[in-house]
Amino acid sequence: MAKKLLILLLLCLGHILYAQNDSNIWYFGGKAGLDFNNGAPVVLNDGQMETFEGSASISDSSGQLLFYTNGEKVWNKNHQVMSNGSDLMGSSSSSQACIIIPKPDSPNIYYIFTTDDFGNSKGLRYSEIDITLENGLGNVNANKNILLASPTCEKLTAVKKANNSGFWIVAHDYGSNKFLSYSVSSSGVNTVPVISAVGIPITSQAGAVGYLKASIDGTKMVSCNYLNNLELYDFNASTGQLSNVKVINTKEANYGAEFSPSGNKLYVTTGSGIYIQEIVQYNLNVPNITASAVTLSTTNSQFGALQLASDGKIYVSLANSKYLGVIHQPENLGPTCNFDKEGPFVDPGICIFGLPQPVPVGFSVFVASRSICLGSSTQFTISGNQTVIAANWNFGDGTTSNDLSPNHLYTAAGIYNVTVNVQGVNGSTIHTSSIVIAEIPFANSIKNKVACESNAVYDLTQNNVEIKGNQFNPTFKVAYFSSESNATLHNNPLQSPYNLPSGTTTFFAKIYNSENINCYSITSFKVTLLNQLVAGLPQDYTICESPYDGIAQFSLTQKDTEVLNGLDPSQFGVAYYNDYNKAIAGIDELPLFYANSNPQETIYARLENKMNSACFAVTSFLIGVGEQPIIGSLTNLVECGRKNIAFELTEKNAEVLGNLSPTSFIVQYFLSEQNAIEGSNAIDMPYFTSVNQTIYVSVKNVNNTNCTAISTFNLIVLPSLPSVLPVAMNACDDSSNDGIEVFDFDEQTNLLLDNQPSGAFEVTYHVSNSDAVSSEDAINNYSNISNPQIIYARISNSSEKSCFEVHPFSIAVHSQPILVAPQDLYFCSDDGKMFATVDLLSFDETVLNGQPAANFTITYHNLLTEAQQGINTLPKFYEASVGTQIIYVRVENTQNPSCFTVANFQIQVYPATIINVKTNYTLCENNSVEIIAPAGFDSYKWSTGETTSSIFVTEEGTITLTVTDIHEKITCSNTATINIVNSSIAIIKEIIISDWTDNQNSIRVIAEGSGNYEYSIDGETYQTSPEFDGLEVGEYTVYVKDVNGCGIVEKPIYFLIYPKFFTPNGDGYNEKWHIKPSALEPELKVYIFDSKGRLLTSLDGRSEGWDGTCNSTKLPSADYWFVVERKSGKTFKGHFSLMR
C-alpha cells in the first residue's frame, strides 16, 4: 500500500502513535531525562550528563537504554563514562553536537558522529562503539575521532536511505554553501561525501549555529541559519542530494526546527534579533509558505530545540526551565496544535537549549487518529518510512479491526491503550499507545452584561461559572475570543482582565476539554460599557431674606439641570441626600422641597444610569439662608480737579451700610456693574481719577456671599486748576534807590491763567498765606513794605470757591547803577602792528566810582545798541585799531539785569614809531664806521650820548638809538639796537699742495685773521671750504676774501708732473726728459738711476733735461728711476721709460 499523506481537518484532532523503541530514552540539558516506553513520558533522574546544547541517546529494540553522549563523553547504560569514552572531539556547545547511528547489518556496532562549535577546526568526526565490550556495557574501540571534514557548521542530521540499505549523515561545510552527505552502510562510513552546493554560504560563526532537520519520510530538509535565514530543501534519499531551496524567513534568530510526522507542518524556534523567543508554525501544503506563519508562543526567556518523540508529540526545550514545552497535535493548523509551555516537569534536571535526535533505525510507524471527541467516530490511519501492507488493531475497549484505516466509535470518555501490529514490505512492528477520548463540554448561554466606565477593566473569568453551569469536570476550561473564527481555531485568546472599549463588545466564549481543545462548544454574549458618569458641579443654593430668620424652603429639583450636566434626563436620574454615605448607598432620599435646619448645610446629589443603578456619580453643593443687605440712597463725592485725584472710597462705608453690621457684611467698590455682580476686579484704595465717574458699590453677606446688594454713586471731578506756577517779580528802583516800588500783578495773572477757559478760574493776591486761604484782603498795584517780600497768589474755581490752591512768589526792588564814564584815552599802537591792546577791565573801578563791585556787572561794547541789549561784549584785552573809536560801557544790577546804565568814552590810537636802521656793522681793523639813522623823527638819542641822526664808531660793541614822534596828547617812541663787529683781511699761512697727477691734484688753504672768509681759485667763484681737488696740472692763483668786506688776499701756486717716457731718437720731438714745470722751482733737484741703482745723472730746476746718455754714451731703451728733492724737504720717487 502506498505511503499516505495525512491531511487533518482543523476540527478533527490528530493523535499520533510513533513505533520506534530505540529512541524511547532521552538524556539532555542538565542531567534531565525522559522515558517514552509507556507512551506518556516519565521523568528520569539518573542521568549524569550535562550539555549546553546537543546530545544523543539510543536504546535497543525493546526500549532499554544502551548509551548516551554529549559529543565529548559517552555514558553506558549504568551511567558511567566508558573507559575510552572521554575526549571525543565534538562540543557540547554545538547545536547538534552528536548523533548515534547503528552500523547496518552489525547489531553490536554503533557510530557516534560529532561536530565542533562555531565552525571551529575539529570539524565533523565519527567514533565507533562496540556494545559487546566491557561485558556488554560497550566502549569506544580504536576507531575514534576519525575526521570527515573540517571546518563544518554545527548542523548534523541523519536520513534513512530510500532502499533501507543504510543512512545518510548530512552536515554543512563552513565557509561555503555546500552540504556534505556521507553514506553509512554495512561496509562502514564512506568518507567521500555527496556534495550539494545549494542555499546561502555560511561564512560567519553565528551562521554556523542552528539545526538541520529532515522529515520522517526523508523527502524534505530544513536548515536554521542563525542570524541569517531559514531555508527549506527537497532531499533525495536515494542520492543524498539537496535541491530546490526556498527561503522561508529572514528572521535573525532561527535555531531549532522539526517536521510534523506527516511532513506537512514545520515548526521553528526563532526571533527578531539575537534572542530565540518565538515558536512559529508553517504550513508546507500552501504555495506561499512564508505567509502561512503562525506564532504559537513567545517567551521572555529563550526557546531551544524542537524534537518529535515516539508519542507523536513535538517537545520544545525552554532554556533554564524545569519544564519542557509540548505540541500535542502537531498535524493541526495554528493554535489547535495545542502548544503547552508547561509539559513534562523534568526536575531535578533542567532544560537548556538542546534535545537528543532520534534516528529512524527500524520500521517507523505513525498512527494518526481523527476526531477523538466522545460521540464522534475516530478514524485511524498509518504512515511510516516504508509501505504498510497489513495492520491488526486492538482499540483498548474490547474491539478489534484488520482495516488499514479503520473508523471506531468509543461509547465512553477515557484513556484507551491502542495496539497495532503493522506489517511493512521490509518488516513488521508492534506499537501500543494510549489515546484520550475527550468529553465535549456544553456552553451555557449567558445574559448580556452592562459595565460602567469606571470598571472598564473587565474580568472575563467572572462568567466562567455561568458558562459551565453544572459541568464540574476539571478538564473543562473556558477561553474568550473576539470572533467566532478565532474561537474555532483557538487563535488569539483574550487576556483577562480585558480593557473594554466604549460601547458594546461581543465576546465568544469557548468551553473546551483541556485533554483535547478540539472538543469544545461556543456561545457568545455582549458587554456594554456605559460612559463614566461625571456629575456636574452645582452652584451653591442660597436663599436671601430680609427680615432674616435663617429658615427657608429649598426646591432641590432646581439643581437637576446642573447635576445632569447635559445628560438626557430620560436615561439618567437625580436624587438628593443630606449624607454622603446615604448618597453612595442610594437610601433616605430627601423630599423635593426641603426645609433646612441649619443656616448652612451640604446636600449630596446622586446621578445614576436608569439602566444600571450601579453606574452612578455623587456631587455636592451647599444650601444656606442669609440676610439680604439693603442699600439706601447714596450721595455723590465731589473733588477739586487736579491730576490723579485720590478718592478714599472707604469713607463712604458707613453711609453705604446704614444700620448693617460692618463685621457681618463686606463693602467693595467697582468700576462696572458686571464686576460688582461677579465680585471681580474690586477697586484698590485709594482710587485715582481725574474725570467724573459712576462707582458701583457691593454689600455682601460675610457668611453667605450670595446675599448681595448693589447700588451706585458718582464721583464729581471739577476741572483741574491751572498747573502754571507764579514767577518772581523784580523791579528797578528809581533814582532815589529807596527800595520801594509799585507792583502791578496783571502780568502775573495772565501768566497763571494762560490757555484757560474764560471765567473758569480767578486769581487774587495776598500779603499772607492765611489771607489767601481765607480769601481776605486781596491786593493789587501794591507798594512793597519790605525788600524782598513774599506775596501769595490764590487760584480758585470760579464756580466752586472751595477748590483753590495757594502759591507764594517773591517781589523785589533792585537798585539802579550810577555810572562814571572814563576820560578819553590815547595809545600808541603795538610795535609793528596797527592796533593797541587795551585792558578794558582796568577802568572798572573808575566806572563804579565806589559802588560795591559784587552788586554789578560791567561790560564794554562797540555799539550803543549792543550795550543796551547786553550783547557782543568786548574782551578784557581789546585790540583798538589805529584811529579814533567810541567805546560804550554797560553797568547792570547782578540781581536784575534790567536795571542797567550805559555811558561812552573815546579811544585814540596813533601809529607806533618805526626805525628802519641797519642793525649789524663791520669795523675793519684800523678803520671807523659811520651809522646813519633815518630822517623825519622829532628827536634822536644814541647810547653814546650823541643826539644827531648819524655818528662814527671806532670800537666793536653794541649801541642803541631811540627816536620819538610827538603827538597832541601822547609821545610815541622806539629804540633800535645796533651791533658793531670787528673784522680784518686774511693772512695766508700755508697752501698744502698734492700734485704729480695729470688731473687729480688738490690744495688746502690755511688762512688766519678775525674775519669770516671765503675761498676761490679764479677770483670770481668763492666757497666756504678751503679745499680744492680734481685740479689739472698747471699754475693757479688762490684768493681769500673777507665776507665782512675788509679785503681780498691772493697767492699763486703750481703742480709738478713727470713724463712717463721720452724718445731721444733725433727727430726733434720729445728728445729730453725733465720734471714739469721745473723752471718754477729752480732749487728742485732730480737724480736719475738705472735699474741697478747706479746714478746716471742729476738735474736742477733750471736744467734743460736728460738726453738719455751717460758720459756721452747713449743708453738703451729701458725703465729708469728718479728721485725728486724739493726745497720744502719733500721727496718724490718714480720711474719712466726711455724708448729709442
pLDDT at residue 343 in the model: 92
Whether 304 and 355 have beta carbons less than 8 Å apart is answered as yes
Same structural domain, 526 and 579: no
Same domain for 254 and 186: yes
Last residue of a domain, one of 910, 929, 949: 910
Q: Can you give 118-182 as a three-state secondary structure string?
A: HHCCCCEEEEEEECCHHHHCCEECCCCCEEEECCEEEEEEEEECCCCCCEEEEEEECCCCEEEEE
Q: Could you tell me the CATH number of the domain that includes residue 397?
A: 2.60.40.10
Residue with cell 738719455: 1108
Q: 311 and 433 in contact (C-beta within 8 Å)? A: yes
Q: Is 30 in the same domain as 125?
A: yes
Does 1085 fall in a domain? no
Question: Considering the domain boundaries, does residue 1061 fall inside one?
Answer: no
Q: What is the CA radius of gyration of the chain?
A: 73
Split into its structural domains, the chain has a count of 9
Distance CA 791, CA 811 (A): 7
Residues 284 and 155 in one domain: yes
Q: Is residue 1013 included in any domain, yes or no?
A: yes
**252 occurs within a structural domain:** yes
Q: How far apart are CA 554 and CA 542, in angstroms?
A: 9
Residue 979 domain-assigned (yes or no)? yes
| Amino acid type, 469 | G
Out of 285, 312, 345, a domain closes at 345
Which element (helix H / strand E) includes 464?
helix 464-468
Whether the Cβ atoms of residue 836 and residue 830 lie closer than 8 Å to each other: yes
Instruction: For residue 222, give every residue at least 6 positions away whose Cβ sits within 8 Å of its Cβ, in sequence order, or none.
Output: 211, 212, 213, 230, 231, 232, 233, 248, 257, 259, 266, 268
Q: Report CA-CA distances (Å) from 617 to 281, 450, 562.
A: 50, 16, 13
Rounded to an integer, what distance in angstroms lies between the CA atom of residue 1131 and that of residue 1127?
Answer: 9
What is d(CA 823, CA 825) in angstroms, rounded to the nearest whole number? 6
Contact at 8 Å (CB) between 277 and 271? yes
DSSP labels, 987-1048: EEEEEEEE-SSSS-EEEEEEEESSS-EEEESSSS--BS-SEEEEEPSSEEEEEEEETTSS-E
HEC string of 247-280? EEECCCCCCCEEECCCCCEEEEEECCCCCCCEEE
> Is the residue at 929 inside a domain?
yes
Closest alpha carbon to 729 in 751, 752, 745, 740? 745
Give the angle subtended at the CA of 293 by the CAs of 288 and 295, to the nearest 5°. 175
- The closest alpha carbon to 519, from 480, 482, 488, belongs to 488
DSSP line for 831-843: TTSSEEEEEGGGG
Strands 971-983 vs 957-966: parallel, antiparallel or unpaired? antiparallel
* Shared-domain flag, residues 992 and 976: no
> Are residue 520 and residue 421 in the same domain, yes or no?
no
The CA distance from 735 to 739, in Å, is 10
Q: Can you give the pLDDT at residue 643?
A: 61
Cis peptide before 151 (omega within 30 of 0): yes
Backbone angles phi, psi at 739, to 5 degrees: 80, 10
In a domain, 744, yes or no: yes
What pLDDT is recorded for position 419? 87
Pairing of strands 782-783, 1027-1031: unpaired
| 432 and 461 within one domain | no
Q: Say if 1075 falls within a structural domain.
A: no
**Entry pTM:** 0.46
Q: How many CB atoms lie within 10 A of CB 1084?
A: 21
Question: 557 and 416, same structural domain?
Answer: no
The answer to whether 212 touches 224, Cβ cutoff 8 Å, is yes
Cell of 317: 526545550
213 shares a domain with 157: yes
Alpha-carbon distance of 917 to 82, in angstroms, equals 152
**Amino acid, res. 543:** I
Residues 408, 303 share a domain = no
Q: Rounded distance, CA 992 to CA 512, Å?
A: 152
| Same-domain status, 526 and 564 | no
> Which DSSP string do the residues of 1073-1093 spell out, in sequence order?
B--BTGGG-TT-EEEEE-TT-
Q: Specify the pLDDT at position 95.
A: 95
Q: Which residues of the chain have pLDDT under 50?
A: 1-19
Q: Per DSSP, what are the bridge partners of residue 991?
A: 1005
Last residue of a domain, one of 718, 741, 760: 718
Helix (H, G, I), strand (E, B) or coil at 185: strand
- Give bridge partners of residue 415 from the DSSP assignment: 436
Distance CA 443, CA 484 (A): 14
DSSP-assigned beta bridge partners for residue 179? 172, 196
Q: How far apart are CA 234 and CA 474, in angstroms?
A: 45
Give me the pLDDT at residue 385, please. 64
Q: What is the DSSP string of 582-594?
A: HHHHT-SPPPSEE
Q: Would you state the cell numbers that stand for residue 571, as one nine-digit string? A: 436615561
Q: Are residues 759 and 795 in the same domain?
A: yes
pLDDT of residue 122: 96
Domain containing 577: what range?
541-626
Rounded to whole angstroms, the Cα distance separating 956 from 920 reads 11
Grid coordinates belonging to 729: 517779580
Between the alpha carbon of residue 1040 and those of residues 472, 644, 940, 983, the distances in Å are 162, 106, 40, 14
All three cell numbers of 138, joined, read 560497550
CB 855 within 8 A of CB 808: no
